[in-house]
């Protein structure tokens, strides 16, 4: 299999803080891999090492066939990087920004101009192209930023939380653009805290927590880990909550004592659900409501890590 990105046993610490602890990951050429994890899991550090901005303490990383430590310049010539902030010049126009980036990617003057115009069109910025970036909205800046990293049509693109902080409409627009990229056979490694984003864009999802990959697979494969159907039960009395937990032990996914809800993974069969309800009844636990849900990546994340991925995000 032809892998555009290969990471072997990557380690990185900042002083006493271990950020990456033996990270292993491969991304097939022409595919999209989403690195999914909470803040501080090591997503950005991984991207920074892969884009030659940071040296790993140990381990190996190869991008487009080049080692990121020994052959940094060759890696740099193969990648486009879009960071968490729109790294564009406020005072220049959109066109001037792209033209400048084109020149820096060593396109000829004519090519840089043509490519800038072409990308502005593709990214729905044609009209805004002659305005200074300081008048752009957040979504426009991010699109321009992405366009800048694609000027030289790199075979490998890193997108570090490409939609964090965007409103839903801008996020959808960004997704459409990223989907188009994939059609052009570019390898994309994107990081995200949003389950929905990973689900929508990625061929493969790698779940990262505390500097390690704890699961990898397609969205469906990961969802199967938590069973086919998730049963959500609301318990009548708070006093019987502990008893209820005991009764469903084994298939428990997560609970919320405050809301008096218990989530259980099931095969979705009537028999299994009946057994669970019978056990609860025997234990003298009253059930108020019952509902079935398709598992989401949130469920996967909770199951794998025991904590929510988007917790910090939601507080914002």
Partner 1 sequence: MIKTAQHSKTVWMFIDSWVLIKRSLLHIVKNRDQILGLTIQPVMFMLLFRYVFGGAIGTGGVSYVNFLVAGILIQSVAFGSLTTSLMVATDLQRGIIDRLKSMPIFSIAVVSGHVVGDLVRNLIQSVIMIGVGLLVGFRPEASVTDWFLIAGIVLLFTYAMSWVAAIMGLLAKTPEAVQWMGFFVIFPLTFASAAFVPTQTMVKGLRIFAENQPVTHVIEAVRALMIGTPVGNHAWIAVAWCIGIAVVAIPVAGYLFRKHSGR
Residue spans of alpha helices (H) in 123-265: 138-150, 168-183, 195-201, 219-224, 241-248
Nearer to partner 1, 55 or 311 (CB): 55
Task: Tell me the C-alpha distance between 172 and 191, whole Å.
Answer: 16
Task: Tell me the C-alpha distance between 242 and 152, whole Å.
Answer: 59
Residue 106 to residues 38, 77, 112, 266: CA-CA distances in angstroms? 37, 10, 8, 56
CA dihedral (300, 302, 306, 308) in degrees, to 10, reads 140
Number of residues that bind partner 1 (CB under 8 A): 40
Q: Residue 191 Cβ, how far from partner 1 at the closest point, in Å? A: 15
Contact string (CB under 8 A) for partner 1, positions 158-197, x = contact: ----------------------------------------
Residue 111 sits in the site that holds partner 1 (CB under 8 A): yes
**3-class state of residue 200 by DSSP:** helix
**Span near partner 1 by CB under 8 A; candidates 79-87, 198-206, 258-266, 295-303:** 79-87
Residue 316: exposed, middle, or buried by beta-carbon count in 10 A (0-12, 13-18, 19+)? Answer: exposed
Residues 6+ apart with CB under 8 A from 149: 80, 81, 82, 157
**Span near partner 1 by CB under 8 A; candidates 83-91, 175-183, 238-246, 279-287:** 83-91
Q: Residue 228 Cβ, how far from partner 1 at the closest point, in Å? A: 43
Q: Which long-range contacts (CB under 8 A, 24 or more apart) does 246-250 make?
A: 246/283, 247/276, 247/279, 247/280, 247/282, 247/283, 247/285, 248/276, 248/279, 248/280
Residue 71 sits in the site that holds partner 1 (CB under 8 A): no
Contact string (CB under 8 A) for partner 1, positions 125-144, x = contact: -------x------------
Q: Residue 312 Cβ, how far from partner 1 at the closest point, in Å? A: 21
- Cβ pair 240, 285 in contact under 8 A: yes
Pairing of strands 17-28, 287-293: unpaired
Q: Residue 7 Cβ, how far from partner 1 at the closest point, in Å? A: 17
**Span near partner 1 by CB under 8 A; candidates 46-54, 165-173, 230-238, 252-260:** 46-54
Q: Residue 13 Cβ, how far from partner 1 at the closest point, in Å? A: 11
Q: Residue 69 Cβ, how far from partner 1 at the closest point, in Å? A: 10
Nearer to partner 1, 35 or 88 (CB): 88
Residue 83 sits in the site that holds partner 1 (CB under 8 A): yes
Q: Residue 77 Cβ, how far from partner 1 at the closest point, in Å? A: 4
- Cβ pair 263, 295 in contact under 8 A: no
Nearer to partner 1, 25 or 81 (CB): 81
Phi, psi of 286 (to 5 degrees): -85, 135
Nearer to partner 1, 63 or 206 (CB): 63
Chain contacts with partner 1 (rule: CB under 8 A) = 48, 51-55, 73-74, 76-77, 79, 81, 83-92, 96, 100, 103-108, 111, 115, 132, 148-149, 151-155
């Amino acid at each position: 299999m032809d892998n555009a990105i290969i990471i072997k046993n990557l380690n990185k610490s900042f002083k006493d803080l271990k950020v990456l602890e033996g990270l292993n990951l491969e991304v097939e050429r022409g595919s999209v891999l989403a690195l999914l994890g909470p803040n501080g899991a090591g997503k950005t550090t991984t991207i920074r090492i892969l884009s030659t901005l940071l040296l790993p303490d140990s381990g190996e990383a190869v991008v487009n066939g080049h080692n990121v430590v020994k052959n940094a310049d060759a890696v740099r010539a193969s990648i486009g990087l879009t960071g968490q902030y729109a790294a564009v010049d406020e005072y220049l126009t959109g066109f001037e920004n792209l033209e400048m980036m084109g020149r820096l990617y060593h396109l000829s003057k004519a090519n840089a101009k043509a490519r800038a115009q072409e990308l502005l069109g593709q990214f729905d910025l044609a009209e805004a192209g002659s305005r200074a970036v300081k008048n752009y909205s957040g979504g426009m800046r991010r699109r321009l930023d992405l366009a800048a990293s694609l000027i030289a049509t790199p075979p490998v693109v890193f997108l570090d939380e490409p939609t964090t902080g965007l409103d839903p409409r801008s996020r959808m627009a960004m997704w459409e653009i990223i989907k188009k990229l994939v059609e052009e056979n570019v390898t994309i490694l994107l990081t995200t805290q949003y389950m929905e984003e990973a689900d929508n864009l990625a061929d493969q999802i790698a779940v990262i927590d505390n500097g390690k990959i704890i699961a990898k697979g397609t969205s469906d494969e990961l969802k199967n880990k938590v069973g086919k159907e998730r049963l959500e039960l609301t318990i009548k009395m708070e006093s019987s909550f502990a008893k209820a937990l005991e009764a469903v032990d084994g298939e428990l996914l997560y609970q919320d004592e405050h809301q008096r809800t218990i989530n259980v993974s099931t095969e979705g069969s009537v028999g299994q659900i009946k057994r669970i309800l019978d056990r609860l009844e025997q234990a003298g636990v009253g059930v108020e409501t019952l509902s079935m849900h398709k598992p989401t990546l949130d469920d996967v994340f909770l199951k794998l890590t025991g904590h929510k991925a988007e917790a910090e995000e939601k507080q914002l």
